[in-house]
Amino acid sequence: MTDLLQTDLRPISIQKITTMLLMTVILGSVAGFAASEPMRANSQGIAIVSIGRQDQTSFIEEPLAVVERIKSAGFAAAASTRSGISELSTLLPARQYGGRGALNAHTLRDLSLIEIRIDVPEPELAQKAINAVVEELISNHEEKIAREPFAGES
């Protein structure tokens, strides 16, 4: 029978200790850099828009449909053209539409209100992008109003 307390313990070499410390520092640095990536300073453009109503019961466009439409690649391309900044066509669309997801939109407590938020690296780009998105949305709704008469009109 052997005594477990008296097992042969070999000393750990300095080379192994140095290698382990170096690997820990490298892996820790990589993990820290990866974790800090989402926290990099970004600029935000924020707008709250109200979806107009044609009458007491119906909106010009359903708010949830607006939210999904402005996240789409087609809407981003139109806003990009309107602003003259071609990179918006890839920055703005939601990830499910093949974009980078810089644009986020959701309805607020009052369903006719939609918050649009754009996260991009530069403040000037954020301002131009949010202006282009809002102007494109207004333009789309003006076209809908011009095509469809209100319920009370003939």
The domain locations on the chain are: 42-147
pLDDT in tens, the chain (154 residues): 555 555 556 666 788 778 888 888 888 888 877 776 665 657 888 999 888 877 777 888 888 999 999 999 999 999 999 999 888 888 888 888 888 888 999 998 888 889 999 998 888 999 999 999 999 999 988 888 888 765 444 4
Among the four given CATH numbers 2.30.30, 3.30.70, 2.60.40, 1.10.150, the one describing domain 42-147? 3.30.70
Closest CA relative to residue 133, chosen from 59, 43, 41, 49: 49
**Model-wide pTM > 0.85:** no
Residue pLDDT, tens place only, 72-102: 999 999 999 999 988 888 888 888 888 888 8
DSSP state of 72: S
Residue-level pLDDT at 152: 46
Cα-Cα end-to-end distance for the chain: 104
